[in-house]
Structure 1
């Protein structure tokens, strides 16, 4: 792994994603921690994502010459030094002030992608300036279609090459932790929230100094925002996909796909890649684990169509497992928010190094030298994905 020497983490407290979460929880108000870690309903889907990863085992191999190993890969025409990146997440600066800038600096320093959410607390233009070619933009279609297309135009004008259309949030789900905590955007401070902030003074004072985060891509003249977190996002339909494909000249990626039928239809519609995800369990609590959907979608779209994956990834071995089950690239969300919440930019750098080291060690243990050679063959016999008969193309019309 190569990186700018200035990005050394020097963290003596973060050795795993669990460490990052534990340390972040100490510094953050409960309201903020629960917003990050929480999920839909009883949070079964979020737990299922992780337990299904734990059930997947890799087959160790011995006596291979694995002294030299590479984690470099290519995705959608761009070379990356690592096979993972930072997923799109709304209001990252809630985790810790300056989170978006820390992510951007790490993305450039380690040459990985960072995806800016429509609901980010930094603007489209700011992130492109900070992360340059490593910046991607993620689009929600909430409210008027023309509002969404204006965001697309801004991203195109700023020079983004990769656009992610998230399609698994027709409506934001009920997240019980947020409801209990009275979480709203923008913040409404009652007695409970005031006490929560007051008992976490480092976060509160730093946030006060930097300014309260807000959805910056929706700011209006004179102050305020036209962002509505609870608004329907069902405008991301098949007709909109056709229109977006005509307008967007760069790579178009559809995120939130777990159905083989949907994947085939998206592929036929001309999307450049599919992002397999169940939104980290934050949408449908009864959804299948995303890792279980991945090999089925790989079989449905064929061996060469680009697939990106997230949901439940917590360490470097999980990254290798996802690649073995059909992903070309892996994204992580919550772990990066925990890392920045724990130790700011230093925490982000620590997490990247931990993930990269563990992924490289997993290559060594399975007898591989190059992450691009990861295949189902490294899975323990009997765990290779079941080949399913692809649906006929007219089955999803």
Structure 2
């Protein structure tokens, strides 16, 4: 396996290994990709203030969220059909979660059944739920997750309809695959992936192979409303995380309606091209909900420094998605471990450079984010309060 020294390395190696259709499915964004690009630019514009002459020889990356202690401040985003990256990818992610004691997000449309994944993750699995159709099938999944031992449910709400991703459309990506001349050529030019996938069987949406459960990826999810949320809150006995929120009024209402945490996200930029950069929405939501309400973040994270940026903007926990799929495609389980080790090392080094010893100190390091807000039309820099570097304890 070629060495992975950055997200860009993992992506480049994955592009070499994967069929074009699969790579564009994982890598693609909504519309022209301007929403994804704006968020990446906003992330890069965030500046953190280093401090010197601080003893940073002992640094703690651990955090506590939803009543659980984690020794790392990031987990694995729920991702559908991960086995497209490489056969057994879901199980690689579950084993990583168990080894590092971090949460594994298990997608409604995972390639491996939810029962197997929570077992492999040694209980460190959170089930991600899509509303679909009239919601009756959704509630069956909720009950099934509870019976399987899940204690955290991630309700994803930023996909009322599946977004248009031109790269997928051009490649003819569908689930299940429809093989035409273009796809046949694509697979033939990527024999290692094709032969491995053939040997292990075509990836399927495993949670719907059990009798009584059906799912159509293209089915409308537009009927989810606040009444549905109340029904779900009443039915689910565990912690409820709501993912895909960028609106301050929505965040406040969800908090008051019983959500246990909010995950600020635009689905990796895959749904709405004109959406605001979620990294900036994170800061606004933190200001609105107060210091104590749990906020999670995903979308655009590429490095340990990006995790530090998210925490500086108000996150209590972060999640990686695409990066992990690319690492698996690039080098299997070894590639995944290499990437996570790299992110962990980057984050530890970032804390040292900032003169901080734990994640809770990162908001005090925020030096400038208003430049990004002004550039993307989300605030007046003349009136945007800038967090000043606080005292180092």
Counterpart position of 2:253: 265
Contact 2:47 2:369 in 1 (8 A): no
Report the count of equivalent residues: 375
Mapped partners of 2:333, 2:42: distance in 1: 30
Counterpart position of 2:195: 205
* 1:222-233 correspondence to structure 2 within 5 Å: 226-233=214-221
Give a deviation string over 1:303-322, Cα, whole Å, max 9, x none.
Answer: 10000001111100010010
Deviation at 1:379, TM superposition (A): 1.8
Mapped partners of 1:344, 1:236: distance in 2: 37
Q: In structure 2, do the counterparts of structure 1 residues 382 and 247 end up closer, same or farther at CA, with 3 Å as the change threshold?
A: closer
Counterpart position of 1:125: 115
Secondary structure of 2:218's counterpart equals: coil
Give a deviation string over 1:342-365, Cα, whole Å, max 9, x none.
Answer: 111111111111111101111001
Counterpart position of 1:95: 85
Counterpart position of 2:380: none
Q: 2:365 aligns with which of 356, 378, 382?
A: 378
Deviation at 1:236, TM superposition (A): 2.7
Give a deviation string over 1:56-97, Cα, whole Å, max 9, x none.
Answer: 111111111001111111110111110001101111111111
Ranges in structure 2 where 5+ consecutive residues have no aligned partner:
374-383, 387-393
Mapped partners of 1:164, 1:133: distance in 2: 15
Secondary structure of 1:295's counterpart equals: helix
Mapped partners of 2:268, 2:102: distance in 1: 21
Q: TM-score, normalised by structure 2?
A: 0.93
Contact 1:310 1:330 in 2 (8 A): yes
Counterpart position of 1:115: 105
Give a deviation string over 1:360-381, Cα, whole Å, max 9, x none.
Answer: 1110011011123221x21225
Q: What's the C-alpha RMSD, in Å, of the aligned pairs?
A: 1.7
Counterpart position of 1:148: 138
Structure 2 residue 338 is matched with structure 1 residue 350: yes
Mapped partners of 2:187, 2:369: distance in 1: 50
Give a deviation string over 1:173-194, Cα, whole Å, max 9, x none.
Answer: 1110111001000001111001
Counterpart position of 2:301: 313
Q: TM-score, normalised by structure 1?
A: 0.92
Q: In structure 2, do the counterparts of structure 1 residues 382 and 216 end up closer, same or farther at CA, with 3 Å as the change threshold?
A: closer
Give a deviation string over 1:245-293, Cα, whole Å, max 9, x none.
Answer: 1010110000000000000010011010000001111111000111010
Ranges in structure 1 where 5+ consecutive residues have no aligned partner:
1-10, 389-397
Give a deviation string over 1:181-224, Cα, whole Å, max 9, x none.
Answer: 010000011110011011101111111111110111112559xx
Secondary structure of 1:353's counterpart equals: helix
Contact 1:49 1:280 in 2 (8 A): no
